Amino acid sequence: MSLIVCRDLVKTYSMGETDVHALRGVSLTITAGECVAIMGASGSGKSTVMNILGCLDVPTSGTYELDGVDVSTLGANRLADIRNRKIGFVFQNFNLIPRTTARENVQLPLFYRGIPSREQQALALRALERVGLAGRERHHPSQLSGGQQQRVAIARALVTNPILILADEPTGNLDSQASREIMDMLTRLNTQEKMTIVLVTHEPEIAQYAHRVITMKDGIILSDRPVAESQASPVVMEQAGG
């Protein structure tokens, strides 16, 4: 089933006198259960695509269907609702709230859904367990390593059971060891829990974890290729115990 169908997405920012053509006609279909990496030079439009896929922004023209719903015509409230129910976000800089515990950070999307506090806590603890952070729930972000902070962010993305995880350079601030751990975790969510994942990366080694690599250039898709079976990360299943 097609989870994401984008047709001819155009995004133009007008900056006073000049227009910036961030996207110049991007068409893209992603099937439920895929793990897709988006690559391309700085400024090629990767984050612009991710923001539209994540219902954080709307295209200037073109259509976007998410899970059978044309979201390109929806207003801000409906978009926020879809974001909260269907999408989990992971960012390069983790985006955790400082001076707040790991558990409370993970609870936040549940709080916005109006879920009772007890249930929020129980679900947050379970999500932290899923990312291997049982016992760290009372730590503040500053008391966690970069890799652990990103795992808290993944727990926060997971806790609402989204159908789609969007990760914009999830390993951009991590060393290679922590990067591997985060990619193993994301790949595990994809293979074992059938979660659809779209991630942006600059690093070819990270893109090899995906099934498919889309390369962007100057606001268009330059290539869209499957990752050869033999190139896909060989260690994913062995490390699945976490």
Ligand X SMILES: Nc1ncnc2c1ncn2[C@@H]1O[C@H](COP(=O)(O)OP(=O)(O)OP(=O)(O)O)[C@@H](O)[C@H]1O
By CB under 6 A, name the binding residues for ligand X.
13, 15, 20, 22, 40, 42-48
Q: Write down the residue that tokens 């707040």 correspond to.
A: 100
Residue whose CB is less far from ligand X, 22 or 182: 22
Q: Are 71 and 65 in contact (CB under 8 A)?
A: yes
Q: Of ligand X, Mg ion, none, which one sits near residue 146, judging by CB under 5 to 8 A according to partner kind? A: none
Q: Of ligand X, Mg ion, none, which one sits near residue 179, judging by CB under 5 to 8 A according to partner kind? A: none
CA distance 200 to 206: 9
Q: Are 158 and 88 in contact (CB under 8 A)?
A: yes
Q: Of ligand X, Mg ion, none, which one sits near residue 72, judging by CB under 5 to 8 A according to partner kind? A: none
Nearest distance, CB of residue 60 and ligand X, angstroms = 12
Nearest distance, CB of residue 56 and ligand X, angstroms = 11
Site residues for Mg ion, window 37-56 (CB under 5 A)? 47
Residue whose CB is less far from Mg ion, 47 or 171: 47
Q: Of Mg ion, ligand X, none, which one sits near residue 40, judging by CB under 5 to 8 A according to partner kind? A: ligand X
Residue whose CB is less far from ligand X, 40 or 147: 40
Q: Of ligand X, Mg ion, none, which one sits near residue 48, judging by CB under 5 to 8 A according to partner kind? A: ligand X
Look at residues 39, 40, 52 and name the one whose alpha carbon lies nearest to residue 13: 52
How many Å separate Cα 80 from the centre of its chain? 16
DSSP string, 2-27: EEEEEEEEEEEEEETTEEEEEEEEEE
CA distance 9 to 220: 9
Q: Binding of Mg ion at residue 101 (CB under 5 A)?
A: no
Residue whose CB is less far from Mg ion, 144 or 200: 200
CA distance 172 to 34: 22
Contacts of 241 (CB under 8 A, 6+ apart): none
Size of the site for Mg ion (CB under 5 A): 1
Residue whose CB is less far from ligand X, 34 or 218: 218
Which positions touch Mg ion (CB under 5 A)? 47
